[in-house]
A and B are shown apart, each in its own frame.
Chain A
């Protein structure tokens, strides 16, 4: 039986892991949705096929992340979700439209297919943007001044950029020929935009949020903590060069942009959690104050210990089954 402090670490860590995995996995399939062309049926089919077997499980990480917040930090969960009421509603509508469009596009009448592709794209943009917008509001401690809203809008655009980056990188990995070349260009463009976005957010955030400023510039911070942000910025540059090489020779290392994008996600996520730790509601509640009853969390822990590794195993199994360049998606 773990004590409440240990449980705060365990569940805080698990929740962070779920959010990170969600951002990377659903990030790439939302990104593919954002990039979906509405005037090129063949490309659209291939792009959809590349995410077909995965998107559903990817989205489940969001349910897990929200679920863990609900279970382990119920007070924080209700404070955050009530504060973000309307953005959440809009994000959910985006996810709903997108989820059903995926199925309807393949089953509805041919003439309606384009319409569903447009819905898929819009739903993806809406969901990605609202996630970023909510992240921005969260970072600003749910303040609703004009400045905070502007920051949240910037953050929304940043997340759309980041998802586009990893989505394009996924396509570089999974497609070939002309579409792959397009994806390389998309990836480079999105990478540059995201690069600017990350720098802008990193400058603005400590300036308008004094706690974040303290965490990075006034604490007894070991120099090693500077490594992640520096590495992150360096990776953007490496990414750009890798993509230039891929333009000349796309046969080799098609997997590299996705790996680099994923590492960039991990580093940015580290920066974010470091800025706020140990707070779960910025400036209001720490994970230690918000943690639920130990008897409940210990009971769930048995499941976590057995099931989470199993989930990771069969997720890897599914990626192995659909390994390699994407093939036309025939149901069955």
Chain B
């Protein structure tokens, strides 16, 4: 029988992995909706309204899944990780509190207006509601990433009788890794939503959707992907350098660097071996890791040998990093090639559309892999240097955790399958629908 600690970790990982899928889409999809709606307001061209109407349905579904899995998260702190709040609650509490107060209510309330109020409020108020929802999702990301970053690189606090007290809220919120992690995540969300829109639009085109909307959304999505992808490489690099400064053991695990060394090679592939503390089957580029991390071929990188006993498990961090980077590279290549084709030929070939459909959820894979790198990379700590995961765990019996884990896991698997099926079913329905008579909507809007 697994113990409460391991079960609680698996349960939290399951919950948060499932949860993050949906905000990753909605944070940026909200802004795509703003773009579609504003374009419609300006041009009055029905194609933008069609794009809005289709994607707002997907937004609603995605948002609902994010909300229900998020509520579960808010209970888990108390049920499974009581030590977390007891030790660092004075920091984590207000940050979570500000998220609920400044984001959750705003998103939920204006989502109602945005979804069901188009014929009840003026076009301007409706567009404003769409903007408020997008702002809300972004504010929510701000607070939760601030807290997460503080757990990675805690600053602005002091310890009194083993409890953390805030001393400087500005330093707490804008802790060293926060600006990088926040921008990295926003860009990840942008790319995830862009590939989802591109994928589903391609799916509609493959199903012989002759309407104009999927062509337009495909173009917008690929353009956004081409703009954000290079930016993401740049921000990702800065984020890595920041990690090297504050959490060198995480970078050592990412690079598979067992020993401190000058001119560290870049390991393209290997199987890290925790017993011999070396890499098996390594394929390396000499000195390249030092060049990337220190911008100097002979730069010294601290190895895992300096952190024995307090460094994260190497394999998941090492592979997670390669999956993230690999998927990112693939996304960049596909975005550039397809956008170029679209520019040259004004349409994509069959196989290009198929590749985009296959990559609908590529953003999810890259984002999850990235989160695994940074979260597992923080182990054995829950809050770096302050609190270990083991110290924070609940005293609830392992049987109870096993029951709840099984229940969550089964519900989540079913929901994930249903979500993806419903997404493409909604696309199928959109393909079959005749052109709407948009004059009706316009009349209502201009009334």
Which residues from chain A sit less than 8 Å from chain B, CB to CB?
A: 52-54, 56-57, 59-60, 62-64, 66-72, 74-75, 77-78, 80-82, 85-86, 88-90, 92-93, 95-97, 99-100, 102-104, 107-109, 292-293, 295-297, 299-300, 303-304, 307-308, 311, 314-315, 317-318, 321-322, 329-332
> Which of B60, B71, B79, B109 is close to A62, meaning CB atoms less than 8 Å apart?
B71
Asked if B90 and A292 make an inter-chain contact with CB atoms under 8 angstroms apart, the answer reads yes
**Cα-based distance from A71 to B82 in the complex (angstroms):** 12
Query: What 19 new A-B contacts, CB under 8 Å, besides A57-B108, A66-B75, A81-B75?
Result: A53-B117, A56-B111, A64-B100, A64-B104, A66-B78, A67-B74, A67-B96, A70-B77, A78-B85, A82-B396, A89-B408, A96-B68, A97-B411, A99-B67, A108-B418, A314-B106, A321-B117, A321-B121, A332-B115
Smallest CB separation, A67 vs chain B (Å): 5
Q: Across the interface, do A78 and B82 meet the contact criterion of CB distance under 8 Å? A: yes
- 18 example contacts (A-B, Cβ-Cβ < 8 A) are as follows A52-B116, A53-B115, A53-B116, A57-B109, A59-B67, A71-B97, A92-B72, A95-B71, A99-B68, A108-B418, A296-B90, A296-B165, A296-B166, A303-B101, A318-B113, A330-B116, A331-B53, A331-B115
Chain A residues lying within 8 Å of B169, measured Cβ to Cβ, are: 299
Q: Which residues of A contact B195 (CB under 8 A)?
A: none
Chain B residues in 8 Å Cβ range of A330: 116, 119
| Cβ-defined contact, A86 with B120, below 8 A | no
A67 and B112 contacting across the interface, CB-CB below 8 Å: no
Please count the residue pairs between chain A and chain B whose beta carbons lie under 8 angstroms apart in the complex: 207
Question: Given A56-B108, A56-B111, A318-B112, are A70 and B85 neighbors across the interface (CB < 8 Å)?
Answer: yes
With A62-B71, A89-B404 known as contacts, the answer to whether A296 contacts B56 (CB < 8 A) is no
CB nearest to B65 among chain A residues = A100
Residues on B facing A (Cβ under 8 Å):
52-53, 56-57, 60-61, 63-65, 67-72, 74-75, 77-79, 82, 85-86, 89-91, 93-94, 96-98, 100-102, 104-106, 108-113, 115-121, 163, 165-166, 169, 394-396, 400, 403-404, 407-408, 411, 415, 418, 422, 425-426
Instruction: Give chain A residues whose Cβ lies under 8 Å from the Cβ of B418.
Output: 100, 104, 108
Chain B CB within 10 Å, residue with most, of A60, A90, A108: A60
* With known contacts A67-B97, A74-B89, A296-B91, A318–B109 Cβ distance under 8 A: yes
Contacts of B77 in A (CB 8 A): 70
Contacts known (A66-B74, A89-B404, A331-B60); A54 close to B415, Cβ less than 8 A: no
CA–CA, A262 and B252, complex, Å = 59
Residue of A nearest to B441 (CB): A332
Which residues does chain B contribute within 8 Å of A293, judged by CB atoms? 90, 163, 165-166
Complex contact A78–B78 (CB within 8 A): yes
Neighbour of A109 across the interface among B69, B94, B415, B425, CB < 8 A: B425
Q: Which one, B89, B163, B395, B408, contacts A70 given CB within 8 A?
A: B89
Complex Cα–Cα for A136 and B189 (A): 43
Interfacial chain B residues near A292, Cβ < 8 Å? 89-90, 93
Contact of A67 among B100, B117, B395, B415 (CB under 8 A): B100
Known: A56-B108, A82-B396, A88-B79. A100 touches B91 (CB 8 A): no
Residues of B within 8 A of A304 (CB): 101
Contact of A322 among B60, B112, B415 (CB under 8 A): B112
Q: Are A322 and B82 in contact (CB under 8 A)?
A: no
Chain A residues, Cβ within 8 Å of B61: 103-104, 107
Assembled-state Cα–Cα distance A71/B60 (Å) = 29
Most buried by B among A78, A108, A308: A78
| Chain B residues, Cβ within 8 Å of A99 | 64, 67-68
Q: Which residues of chain B have C-beta atoms less than 8 A from A57's C-beta?
A: 105, 108-109, 112
**CB distance A82 to B78 under 8 Å?**
yes
| Nearest CB of A to B203, in Å | 16
Q: Which of A66, A296, A297, A318 has the most CB of B within 10 A?
A: A296
A299 interface neighbour in B67, B74, B96, B166, Cβ under 8 Å: B166
